[in-house]
């Protein structure tokens, strides 16, 4: 089973419904865990991970729509020992990212990070992915960093595809740079420990 954790806030109900429907249409065995009105996305992801019962864990957002074949590709690459990084499209069909760039990249290409992370419970425990830093942003960067730090590379998996609509309700872009500093400090603390 796949546990899909999706933070959401008031005012984003229509996005959340579209997100949920997309997983219903593409994913056979899953639980959809909605974490409502947490102060940050990553706090919602952490709380959802505590409730998750699945062997596989997927951290999504309420303005994401899963595309057919996403979970088959994701589980295949996790089975090969990697952290899969999806191909993400804008709502108009143009490319938003493929791995960590806005350029088309081949499946299997190394990349710095995965957005809307997918990993096994074993990977979460082995690589110290949980808890995720409690910021609004850079949770996906944290997951990728922790996996890489502990020997798990992130690779592009084009067949793991999503649409990201960038819903603006509740976005806190003004905290982006402050969150980046929190992420950098957390990485620095990790390097001192290891």
Q: Where are the domains of the chain?
A: 2-193
Identify the pLDDT of residue 176.
85
The answer for 14, left when phi > 0, alpha when psi is -120 to 50, beta otherwise, is alpha
Tell me the β-bridge partners of 161. Answer: 87
Q: Indicate the pTM of the whole model.
A: 0.94
Q: Cβ distance 44 to 1 under 8 Å? A: no
What are the structure tokens assigned to 66, written together?
Answer: 């899963």
Q: CATH number of 2-193: 3.30.70.100, 3.40.190.10, 3.30.70.270, 3.90.550.10?
A: 3.90.550.10
Angle between helices 139-149 and 41-51 (to 10 degrees): 60
Question: Would you write out the chain's pLDDT as a tens digit for each of its 194 residues?
Answer: 999 999 999 999 999 999 999 999 999 999 999 999 999 999 999 999 999 999 999 999 999 999 999 999 999 999 999 999 999 999 999 999 999 999 999 999 999 999 999 999 999 999 999 999 999 999 999 999 999 999 999 999 999 999 999 776 666 778 888 898 999 999 998 876 65
Residue in the block written with tokens 């390097």: 191
Q: What is the DSSP letter of 175?
A: G
Identify the pLDDT of residue 173.
74
Identify the pLDDT of residue 177.
87
> How far, in Å, CA of 12 to CA of 163, rounded?
16
Identify the pLDDT of residue 172.
74
Identify the pLDDT of residue 194.
55
Q: Give strand ranges (E) for 83-193.
A: 83-89, 95-98, 118-120, 154-164
């Amino acid at each position: 089973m796949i546990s899909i954790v999706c933070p959401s806030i008031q005012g984003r109900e229509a996005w959340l419904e579209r997100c949920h429907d997309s997983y219903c249409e593409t994913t056979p065995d899953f639980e959809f865990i909605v974490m409502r009105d947490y102060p940050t996305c990553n706090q919602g992801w952490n709380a959802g991970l505590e409730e998750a019962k699945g062997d596989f864990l997927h951290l999504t957002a309420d303005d994401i729509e899963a595309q057919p074949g996403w979970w088959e590709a994701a589980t295949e690459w996790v089975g090969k020992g990697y952290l899969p990084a999806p191909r993400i499209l804008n709502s108009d069909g143009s490319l938003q990212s493929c791995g960590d760039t806005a350029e088309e990249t081949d499946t299997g290409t190394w990349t710095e990070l995965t957005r809307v992370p997918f990993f096994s419970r074993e990977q979460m425990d082995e690589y110290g992915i949980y808890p995720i830093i409690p910021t609004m942003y850079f949770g996906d960067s944290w997951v990728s960093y922790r996996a890489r730090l502990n020997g798990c590379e992130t690779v592009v998996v084009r067949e793991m595809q999503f649409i990201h609509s960038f819903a603006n309700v509740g976005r806190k872009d003004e905290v982006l740079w402050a969150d980046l500093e929190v992420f950098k400090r957390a990485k620095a603390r990790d390097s001192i420990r290891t």
